[in-house]
A = this chain, B = another copy of it.
Amino acid sequence: MGFSIYELGDVSLQHGEVLHQARVAYKTHGALNSAASNAILFPTWFTGSHSDVEWIIAPGRPLDPSKYFIVVVNIFGNGYSSSPSNTKARDGKPFPYLSLLDNVVLQRRLLREHLGVKKLQLVVGRSMGAQIAFQWGSYFADEVNALLALEGSARTSPHNYAFLATMKMALQSVATEDPAIAARVGLKRMRIIADSWGFSQAWYREKGYQKLGFNSLEDFLERSLPDKIGHPEDFLCQIATWQRADISDNDRFKGDLTAALGAITARAIVMPSETDMYFPPEDNRIEIASMPNAELRVMPTVWGHRAGSPGTDPADTAFFEDAIRELLSGKWTR
Protein backbone atom coordinates (compact mmCIF):
# COMPACT_ATOMS: atom_id res chain seq x y z
CA MET A 1 0.00 0.00 0.00
CA GLY A 2 2.98 2.32 0.28
CA PHE A 3 4.80 4.40 -2.26
CA SER A 4 8.15 6.14 -2.60
CA ILE A 5 9.22 9.74 -3.01
CA TYR A 6 12.18 10.88 -5.05
CA GLU A 7 13.37 14.37 -4.20
CA LEU A 8 14.57 16.41 -7.14
CA GLY A 9 15.51 19.63 -5.39
CA ASP A 10 14.63 22.98 -6.90
CA VAL A 11 13.79 22.48 -10.54
CA SER A 12 13.68 24.96 -13.41
CA LEU A 13 10.58 24.31 -15.44
CA GLN A 14 10.02 24.53 -19.16
CA HIS A 15 8.35 27.91 -19.07
CA GLY A 16 10.82 29.61 -16.74
CA GLU A 17 9.22 29.04 -13.37
CA VAL A 18 10.84 27.15 -10.54
CA LEU A 19 9.34 24.24 -8.67
CA HIS A 20 10.93 24.23 -5.25
CA GLN A 21 11.82 20.98 -3.54
CA ALA A 22 10.23 19.03 -6.31
CA ARG A 23 9.21 15.50 -5.50
CA VAL A 24 8.02 12.63 -7.63
CA ALA A 25 5.91 10.02 -5.92
CA TYR A 26 6.10 6.60 -7.51
CA LYS A 27 5.77 2.92 -6.89
CA THR A 28 7.70 0.11 -8.47
CA HIS A 29 6.63 -3.45 -9.08
CA GLY A 30 9.13 -6.20 -9.89
CA ALA A 31 12.84 -5.68 -10.43
CA LEU A 32 15.08 -4.34 -13.13
CA ASN A 33 16.93 -7.14 -14.91
CA SER A 34 20.70 -7.13 -15.35
CA ALA A 35 20.47 -5.76 -18.88
CA ALA A 36 18.17 -3.00 -17.60
CA SER A 37 15.88 -3.88 -20.50
CA ASN A 38 12.61 -4.77 -18.84
CA ALA A 39 11.37 -1.39 -17.59
CA ILE A 40 7.82 -0.22 -18.15
CA LEU A 41 6.61 3.25 -17.23
CA PHE A 42 2.97 3.80 -16.32
CA PRO A 43 2.13 7.44 -15.49
CA THR A 44 -1.15 8.22 -13.76
CA TRP A 45 -4.02 10.37 -15.04
CA PHE A 46 -6.32 13.19 -13.89
CA THR A 47 -7.56 12.44 -10.34
CA GLY A 48 -5.66 9.14 -10.38
CA SER A 49 -2.75 7.91 -8.34
CA HIS A 50 -0.33 4.98 -8.21
CA SER A 51 -2.82 2.79 -6.38
CA ASP A 52 -5.38 3.10 -9.18
CA VAL A 53 -3.37 0.95 -11.57
CA GLU A 54 -2.43 -1.83 -9.21
CA TRP A 55 -5.38 -3.98 -10.24
CA ILE A 56 -3.79 -4.52 -13.66
CA ILE A 57 -0.32 -5.36 -12.36
CA ALA A 58 -0.15 -9.00 -11.34
CA PRO A 59 1.64 -12.24 -12.09
CA GLY A 60 0.21 -13.92 -15.17
CA ARG A 61 -1.18 -10.70 -16.52
CA PRO A 62 0.58 -8.67 -19.21
CA LEU A 63 1.96 -6.22 -16.66
CA ASP A 64 3.65 -9.03 -14.79
CA PRO A 65 6.00 -7.94 -12.00
CA SER A 66 7.79 -11.29 -12.16
CA LYS A 67 8.98 -10.35 -15.64
CA TYR A 68 8.99 -6.58 -15.77
CA PHE A 69 10.14 -3.65 -13.72
CA ILE A 70 7.04 -1.52 -13.69
CA VAL A 71 7.33 2.07 -12.53
CA VAL A 72 4.05 3.75 -11.76
CA VAL A 73 4.67 7.46 -11.50
CA ASN A 74 2.25 10.05 -10.17
CA ILE A 75 1.72 13.07 -12.37
CA PHE A 76 2.38 16.47 -10.84
CA GLY A 77 -0.61 18.01 -9.17
CA ASN A 78 -2.20 14.71 -8.17
CA GLY A 79 -1.55 15.22 -4.45
CA TYR A 80 1.31 12.69 -4.21
CA SER A 81 3.94 14.17 -6.50
CA SER A 82 4.50 17.91 -6.02
CA SER A 83 1.11 19.58 -5.92
CA PRO A 84 -0.43 22.78 -4.59
CA SER A 85 -1.73 20.84 -1.58
CA ASN A 86 1.69 19.55 -0.50
CA THR A 87 3.93 22.45 -1.52
CA LYS A 88 4.45 25.61 0.50
CA ALA A 89 4.08 28.82 -1.42
CA ARG A 90 7.34 30.77 -1.75
CA ASP A 91 7.42 34.55 -1.92
CA GLY A 92 3.66 34.51 -2.40
CA LYS A 93 3.95 32.88 -5.79
CA PRO A 94 1.29 30.37 -6.79
CA PHE A 95 2.19 26.80 -7.56
CA PRO A 96 3.71 26.81 -11.05
CA TYR A 97 2.25 25.45 -14.26
CA LEU A 98 3.79 22.11 -15.15
CA SER A 99 3.72 21.02 -18.76
CA LEU A 100 3.60 17.51 -20.18
CA LEU A 101 7.30 17.91 -20.89
CA ASP A 102 8.02 18.96 -17.30
CA ASN A 103 6.37 15.76 -16.15
CA VAL A 104 8.40 13.70 -18.60
CA VAL A 105 11.74 15.37 -17.89
CA LEU A 106 11.34 14.87 -14.17
CA GLN A 107 10.07 11.31 -14.55
CA ARG A 108 13.21 10.71 -16.60
CA ARG A 109 15.39 12.02 -13.82
CA LEU A 110 13.78 9.57 -11.43
CA LEU A 111 14.38 6.73 -13.88
CA ARG A 112 17.99 7.61 -14.72
CA GLU A 113 19.30 9.02 -11.46
CA HIS A 114 17.56 6.77 -9.05
CA LEU A 115 16.23 3.63 -10.70
CA GLY A 116 18.95 2.89 -13.24
CA VAL A 117 16.57 2.92 -16.18
CA LYS A 118 17.81 4.47 -19.42
CA LYS A 119 15.45 2.82 -21.86
CA LEU A 120 11.82 1.93 -21.56
CA GLN A 121 10.46 -1.20 -23.12
CA LEU A 122 7.03 0.34 -22.91
CA VAL A 123 5.37 3.53 -21.85
CA VAL A 124 1.70 2.90 -21.23
CA GLY A 125 -0.76 5.55 -20.16
CA ARG A 126 -4.43 6.33 -20.06
CA SER A 127 -6.05 9.74 -20.56
CA MET A 128 -3.54 12.36 -19.34
CA GLY A 129 -1.18 9.45 -18.85
CA ALA A 130 -1.54 8.69 -22.57
CA GLN A 131 -0.66 12.31 -23.30
CA ILE A 132 2.49 11.82 -21.24
CA ALA A 133 3.24 8.62 -23.16
CA PHE A 134 3.01 10.59 -26.42
CA GLN A 135 5.38 13.18 -24.96
CA TRP A 136 7.88 10.52 -23.95
CA GLY A 137 7.77 8.89 -27.38
CA SER A 138 8.27 12.19 -29.15
CA TYR A 139 10.85 14.01 -27.04
CA PHE A 140 12.89 10.99 -25.98
CA ALA A 141 12.19 8.82 -28.98
CA ASP A 142 15.35 6.76 -28.73
CA GLU A 143 14.55 5.77 -25.19
CA VAL A 144 11.10 4.35 -25.81
CA ASN A 145 10.71 1.01 -27.50
CA ALA A 146 6.92 0.83 -27.51
CA LEU A 147 4.07 3.07 -26.56
CA LEU A 148 0.45 2.47 -25.72
CA ALA A 149 -1.83 5.49 -25.50
CA LEU A 150 -5.27 4.61 -24.17
CA GLU A 151 -7.90 7.36 -24.41
CA GLY A 152 -5.59 10.31 -24.82
CA SER A 153 -4.20 12.60 -27.48
CA ALA A 154 -0.86 14.16 -28.33
CA ARG A 155 -2.38 17.60 -28.12
CA THR A 156 -5.50 18.58 -26.22
CA SER A 157 -8.17 19.38 -28.77
CA PRO A 158 -10.09 22.66 -28.68
CA HIS A 159 -13.19 20.73 -27.73
CA ASN A 160 -11.46 18.96 -24.89
CA TYR A 161 -10.21 22.36 -23.76
CA ALA A 162 -13.79 23.65 -23.65
CA PHE A 163 -14.90 20.64 -21.62
CA LEU A 164 -12.07 21.31 -19.17
CA ALA A 165 -13.14 24.94 -18.93
CA THR A 166 -16.47 23.70 -17.57
CA MET A 167 -14.63 21.53 -15.02
CA LYS A 168 -12.61 24.55 -13.92
CA MET A 169 -15.77 26.60 -13.66
CA ALA A 170 -17.34 23.97 -11.40
CA LEU A 171 -14.30 23.84 -9.10
CA GLN A 172 -14.10 27.62 -8.90
CA SER A 173 -17.84 28.14 -8.43
CA VAL A 174 -17.84 27.57 -4.70
CA ALA A 175 -18.16 30.65 -2.54
CA THR A 176 -17.21 29.60 0.94
CA GLU A 177 -14.38 30.25 3.34
CA ASP A 178 -14.45 26.70 4.64
CA PRO A 179 -11.87 24.70 2.67
CA ALA A 180 -13.43 21.34 3.51
CA ILE A 181 -16.85 22.45 2.25
CA ALA A 182 -15.26 24.08 -0.78
CA ALA A 183 -13.54 20.83 -1.61
CA ARG A 184 -16.65 18.72 -1.28
CA VAL A 185 -18.99 21.05 -3.11
CA GLY A 186 -16.47 21.78 -5.84
CA LEU A 187 -15.79 18.11 -6.39
CA LYS A 188 -19.48 17.29 -6.46
CA ARG A 189 -20.08 19.94 -9.10
CA MET A 190 -17.06 18.83 -11.10
CA ARG A 191 -18.02 15.21 -10.89
CA ILE A 192 -21.49 15.65 -12.34
CA ILE A 193 -19.88 17.29 -15.37
CA ALA A 194 -17.28 14.53 -15.60
CA ASP A 195 -20.07 11.95 -15.40
CA SER A 196 -22.08 13.60 -18.14
CA TRP A 197 -19.04 13.45 -20.44
CA GLY A 198 -17.20 10.43 -19.12
CA PHE A 199 -19.75 7.83 -20.16
CA SER A 200 -21.29 7.69 -23.60
CA GLN A 201 -24.81 8.39 -24.77
CA ALA A 202 -25.11 4.68 -25.55
CA TRP A 203 -23.96 3.81 -22.03
CA TYR A 204 -26.65 6.01 -20.53
CA ARG A 205 -29.21 4.63 -22.99
CA GLU A 206 -28.36 1.10 -21.86
CA LYS A 207 -28.60 2.16 -18.18
CA GLY A 208 -24.92 1.48 -17.62
CA TYR A 209 -25.19 3.01 -14.15
CA GLN A 210 -27.07 -0.12 -13.10
CA LYS A 211 -23.91 -2.08 -13.84
CA LEU A 212 -22.16 0.22 -11.38
CA GLY A 213 -24.73 -0.68 -8.74
CA PHE A 214 -27.10 2.29 -8.95
CA ASN A 215 -30.82 1.72 -9.23
CA SER A 216 -31.61 4.99 -10.87
CA LEU A 217 -29.98 7.68 -12.91
CA GLU A 218 -30.71 10.16 -10.11
CA ASP A 219 -28.95 7.96 -7.56
CA PHE A 220 -25.95 7.71 -9.84
CA LEU A 221 -25.73 11.45 -10.43
CA GLU A 222 -26.29 12.31 -6.76
CA ARG A 223 -24.19 9.59 -5.17
CA SER A 224 -21.97 10.27 -2.19
CA LEU A 225 -18.41 11.37 -2.51
CA PRO A 226 -15.67 9.07 -1.25
CA ASP A 227 -14.35 9.79 2.24
CA LYS A 228 -11.00 10.89 0.93
CA ILE A 229 -11.32 13.54 -1.71
CA GLY A 230 -8.75 15.58 -3.54
CA HIS A 231 -7.87 19.21 -3.08
CA PRO A 232 -9.53 21.61 -5.56
CA GLU A 233 -6.22 23.37 -6.21
CA ASP A 234 -4.67 20.04 -7.12
CA PHE A 235 -7.44 19.34 -9.61
CA LEU A 236 -6.96 22.80 -11.09
CA CYS A 237 -3.23 22.16 -11.39
CA GLN A 238 -3.83 18.93 -13.30
CA ILE A 239 -6.44 20.63 -15.48
CA ALA A 240 -3.90 23.33 -16.38
CA THR A 241 -1.48 20.64 -17.56
CA TRP A 242 -4.24 18.91 -19.50
CA GLN A 243 -5.69 22.02 -21.11
CA ARG A 244 -2.32 23.07 -22.49
CA ALA A 245 -1.08 19.58 -23.28
CA ASP A 246 0.78 19.62 -26.58
CA ILE A 247 3.78 17.44 -27.36
CA SER A 248 5.00 20.04 -29.86
CA ASP A 249 4.99 22.90 -27.35
CA ASN A 250 8.74 22.97 -26.77
CA ASP A 251 11.95 24.36 -28.22
CA ARG A 252 12.56 21.34 -30.35
CA PHE A 253 9.26 21.22 -32.24
CA LYS A 254 8.13 24.82 -31.82
CA GLY A 255 4.44 24.04 -32.19
CA ASP A 256 4.86 21.78 -35.23
CA LEU A 257 2.64 18.91 -34.14
CA THR A 258 3.24 16.96 -37.34
CA ALA A 259 6.97 17.01 -36.66
CA ALA A 260 6.50 16.08 -33.02
CA LEU A 261 4.32 13.14 -34.00
CA GLY A 262 6.72 12.19 -36.78
CA ALA A 263 9.49 11.88 -34.20
CA ILE A 264 7.68 9.03 -32.47
CA THR A 265 9.53 6.07 -33.91
CA ALA A 266 8.45 3.64 -31.19
CA ARG A 267 6.05 0.94 -32.13
CA ALA A 268 2.83 2.59 -30.97
CA ILE A 269 -0.72 1.47 -30.44
CA VAL A 270 -3.03 4.43 -30.12
CA MET A 271 -6.24 3.20 -28.58
CA PRO A 272 -9.21 5.52 -28.36
CA SER A 273 -12.46 4.28 -26.94
CA GLU A 274 -15.05 4.23 -29.70
CA THR A 275 -17.44 6.28 -27.59
CA ASP A 276 -15.02 8.57 -25.73
CA MET A 277 -16.31 12.14 -25.78
CA TYR A 278 -13.17 13.58 -24.16
CA PHE A 279 -10.85 12.14 -26.79
CA PRO A 280 -12.99 10.97 -29.73
CA PRO A 281 -11.33 8.49 -32.10
CA GLU A 282 -11.18 11.04 -34.89
CA ASP A 283 -8.61 13.10 -32.97
CA ASN A 284 -6.30 10.08 -32.76
CA ARG A 285 -7.01 9.14 -36.37
CA ILE A 286 -5.61 12.49 -37.43
CA GLU A 287 -2.58 12.10 -35.17
CA ILE A 288 -1.49 8.64 -36.21
CA ALA A 289 -1.33 9.76 -39.85
CA SER A 290 1.88 11.57 -38.86
CA MET A 291 3.35 8.75 -36.76
CA PRO A 292 5.70 6.43 -38.65
CA ASN A 293 5.13 3.27 -36.64
CA ALA A 294 1.69 3.63 -35.12
CA GLU A 295 -1.54 1.77 -35.34
CA LEU A 296 -4.98 3.10 -34.47
CA ARG A 297 -6.85 0.43 -32.60
CA VAL A 298 -10.31 1.60 -31.58
CA MET A 299 -11.74 -0.08 -28.52
CA PRO A 300 -15.32 -1.15 -29.29
CA THR A 301 -17.24 -0.13 -26.19
CA VAL A 302 -20.09 1.97 -24.83
CA TRP A 303 -18.10 2.88 -21.70
CA GLY A 304 -16.82 6.13 -23.17
CA HIS A 305 -13.81 7.60 -21.45
CA ARG A 306 -14.13 5.12 -18.60
CA ALA A 307 -13.58 2.10 -20.82
CA GLY A 308 -10.83 -0.17 -19.59
CA SER A 309 -11.07 1.02 -16.00
CA PRO A 310 -11.73 -1.46 -13.20
CA GLY A 311 -15.37 -2.22 -12.58
CA THR A 312 -16.41 -1.52 -16.15
CA ASP A 313 -16.51 -4.04 -19.02
CA PRO A 314 -14.01 -6.92 -18.72
CA ALA A 315 -13.94 -7.14 -22.52
CA ASP A 316 -12.45 -3.64 -22.63
CA THR A 317 -9.79 -4.50 -20.10
CA ALA A 318 -8.93 -7.61 -22.11
CA PHE A 319 -8.70 -5.49 -25.27
CA PHE A 320 -6.27 -3.16 -23.50
CA GLU A 321 -4.23 -5.98 -22.01
CA ASP A 322 -3.99 -7.81 -25.33
CA ALA A 323 -2.35 -4.74 -26.80
CA ILE A 324 0.11 -4.53 -23.91
CA ARG A 325 0.97 -8.19 -24.41
CA GLU A 326 1.47 -7.63 -28.11
CA LEU A 327 3.79 -4.67 -27.59
CA LEU A 328 5.82 -6.56 -25.01
CA SER A 329 6.17 -9.61 -27.24
CA GLY A 330 8.38 -7.69 -29.69
CA LYS A 331 12.15 -7.97 -29.53
CA TRP A 332 14.07 -5.36 -27.57
CA THR A 333 15.57 -3.86 -30.68
CA ARG A 334 16.63 -0.38 -29.77
How many angstroms from the CA of A176 to the CA of B175 in the assembled complex? 9
A162 close to B (CB within 8 Å): yes
A53 partner residues in chain B, CB cutoff 8 A? none
User: Do B189 and A157 have beta carbons less than 8 Å apart?
Assistant: no
Interface of A is mostly: helix
In this complex, how many residues of chain A approach chain B with their Cβ under 8 Å: the count is 33
Partner of A189 from the list B173, B192, B196 (CB cut-off 8 Å) is B173
User: Do B162 and A202 have beta carbons less than 8 Å apart?
Assistant: no
A221 partner residues in chain B, CB cutoff 8 A? 162, 165
Which residues 147-196 in A have Cβ within 8 Å of B in the complex? 157-159, 161-163, 165-166, 169-170, 173-176, 189, 192-193, 195-196
5 contacts between A and B (CB under 8 A): A159-B199, A159-B203, A175-B175, A175-B176, A205-B283
Interface contacts beyond A159-B205, A277-B277: sample of 8 additional A-B pairs, CB < 8 Å, sorted by A: A158-B205, A162-B192, A162-B195, A162-B221, A169-B192, A170-B173, A173-B189, A175-B175
Closest 5 CB pairs of A and B: A159-B204, A158-B204, A159-B201, A175-B175, A173-B173
